[in-house]
Amino acid sequence: MATRTLRIALDGATGRLGSSQHVRALTDIRAEGGLPLASGDRLLPEPVLLGRNPEKLAALAAANGGLAWSTDRDALLADPGIAIYFDAVATAGRAERALAALAAGKHVYLEKPIASSLDEAMGLVLAAERAGVKHGVVQDKLFLPGFAKLARVRRSGALGRILSAKLDFGWWVFDGIFAPAQRTSWNYRKAGGGGLVLDMFPHWRYLIEGLVADIRAVSCRIATAVPQRRDEAGQLFDVDVEDTVFATLELDGGALMQVSCSWATRVRRDDMVVLQVDGSDGSAVCGLHRCVVQPLHATPKPAWNIAQERSESFYDQWQAVPELGPTVNSYRAGWELFLRHVAEDAPFPAPLVAGARGLQLIDACYRSDRGRRWIDLPPIPG
């Protein structure tokens, strides 16, 4: 058994996702002696932290066992020892950075959205195919325990024919005036790649199509509920992107789905995101960690009664889906798949064309809102 190393340029390492998820995922693999491969070898990832702030990079590198770091993207891309370029920087400019990495012959793994438009995304897909390298997009939500349980329920056939579905997402993000915001200000600026559709609908595309059914058409309306915010420097700015989105989806097979998303709502539900799928033989509801089901044979028969308050709890009428084994951090699960894809040509479920499908939904949502009409989503092969 041999240990093989693989150096990874981790761009955006000091950002929220980079530092809290991706750096941790790779260092956890390193701490366990590397990733086991089919050959019996172990693959040891060697992340090189990449960013703009040397003080933050040095601190993050030291906190994770003395990792290498750099502020020079061009130098890392020119380094033949770097095998993978990963991008978790803000959305704006991601496609250009990825194209530069592809031109340098690097394998490419990207946070979503992979580009700022569908045309840009398809250009990136074509460039990756021409480069002959491995490529992929992060699809972390599929590996979260709640969604993984729902996937198991769906595979079992317990829900029968899908009738409808709904997804409810969001929470109150403070405006920086009343209280500090828990999301960075670029999320509310168009120039920075902000906007709720651009941020979250790439997730909804792969999540819905992985757990419910393919999306055939969308009708969408967007709004800006909080028009002014204060940024990290204390400066007031006008929000020029949406923070509230309501969409209706037509799914393959004829089912309809409601999607409601807002950074200007307050949570009174099971989790910060809740997905419900209703079928002819049962229903399932999941959040990030839990999943419950109500099969047809255990479905109660409620009756409308305005004369007195209900005594039963509807929540108590659902059955919890159990854990069947240990769970792996969702970002680490994606990294393990992509590392094996690069190292031994193992299958990877989310090439860049999957990211392009996310951009197709984004584009359709914005076009639907502008025209106040339904937009079809023709299949993107690949």
pLDDT tens by residue, 271-321:
999 999 999 999 999 999 999 999 999 999 988 888 888 888 999 999 999
Indicate if the pLDDT at residue 136 is higher than 80. Answer: yes
Per the structure block, which two tokens stand in for 297?
């044979």
The mean pLDDT of 344-366, rounded to a whole number, is 98
* H runs (alpha helix) in 89-138: 94-103, 118-131
Helix (H) or strand (E) holding 286: strand 282-286
pLDDT, one tens digit per residue, over 321-344 is: 999 888 899 999 999 999 999 999
> How far, in Å, CA of 176 to CA of 173, rounded?
9
Domains of the chain listed by start with CATH number: 3-140+330-345 (3.40.50.720), 142-329+360-375 (3.30.360.10)
Q: What is the pLDDT of residue 200?
A: 96
Which residue in 122, 125, 128 sits closest to 104, CA to CA? Answer: 128
| Cβ proximity of 211 and 151 under 8 Å | yes
pLDDT on residue 184 = 92
pLDDT score for 272: 97
Question: Where is 109: in which H helix or E strand?
Answer: strand 107-110
Residue 205 has a CB neighbour count (10 Å cut-off) of: 26
